[in-house]
Amino acid sequence: MKVFKKIIIYPLQYVIFLIIFFYFKILPNNVASELGGKIFTIIGPLTKTNQTLKNNLIKIFNKDNKYNLSLIQKKCWENLGRTMAELSHLKQIVEKKDNILINGIENLKNVLENKEQAIFIGIHQSNWEILGPIMTRYGIKINFIYRHINNTYIDKFILNIRKKANYPLNTILSPKGKKSALDIIKSINKGFSIALLVDQKDSSGLNVPLLGHMSKTQTGFIKLSKKFNLKIFPIENKRVYKNHFQVTFHKPIDLFDNENNIDEMKAMTKIHEIIGEWIKTEPNNWLWQHKRWG
């Protein structure tokens, strides 16, 4: 089965992906974003993944009447469609900057001015692909940890897009896994900061409450924070209107006790409280399509 996938399925998926990608590429950014959103709004509800989305929304919001779950479901698919279409214009989006409002830039500049290294954490919110390129353009040297795509052809293609959107001298891109653990240590020793998205399920992680329900969560970055004395900066990312974004670099989180120790469970619970508020405030922006609980 694996051989069949590599020889037949993956190349076929790659060809289809390229056709779609370059179709969006020839369109203006705003048109591509709009079209991607509309296509996913139609096709998304017809997929098996839609049931995961619905189950997650019901699990979290079923008892709260202020949330219109049908509307959130529709907007979630629209956001994902826009994000996928905007990938073909990623470099243009972050270079133009007209559609990106940045708050808390002083927190980013403090890292540079003090010649510090740090850990930047975000979630799959709005268009998460713009975060790395924004930071590298302000001069932050970043090792961005990402989850690789099973289809190696598509994975390499998207990795190349990310490399082009970032400033090469300020960027390392490491796939999540055993290799990235070694890459992280090497990059920290070379003066790089670390950036990663912390909202995906990690089957080997700690069970920590997120939005009132236990979820398996990675905590490796907390260990790094303690070992290398790195501050942790949360990055909030909103799609405020169509392809207009608001990115906020918050102040670092204080996770250490009076004796400068850190409890991973308490630390991750505090982080989940922060990102949980982001999700509840802007539920349309989050990737509800992944299996976060259970």
Contacts of 62 (CB under 8 A, 6+ apart): 69
Tens of pLDDT, residue by residue over 12-40, are 999 999 999 999 999 999 999 999 999 99
Pairing of strands 244-249, 231-241: antiparallel
What is the largest distance, in Å, between two alpha-carbon atoms of the chain?
58
Q: What is the mean pLDDT of residues 3-15?
A: 83
Q: What is the mean pLDDT of the chain?
A: 91
pTM: 0.94
Q: Which pLDDT score is estimated for 259?
A: 59
List, for residues 129-163, the tens digit of each pLDDT value.
Answer: 999 999 999 999 999 999 889 999 999 999 999 99
Alpha-carbon span 153 to 159, nearest angstrom: 10
Q: Are 88 and 29 in contact (CB under 8 A)?
A: no
DSSP-derived 3-state class of residue 266:
helix
For residues 11 and 153, give the distance between their C-alpha atoms in angstroms, rounded to a whole number.
7
| Residues 249-283: b if buried by 16+ CB within 10 A, e if exposed | bbebbebeeeeeeeebeebbeebbeebbebbeebb
How far apart (Å, rounded) are the C-alpha atoms in residues 235 and 195? 10
Does pLDDT of 182 surpass 90? no
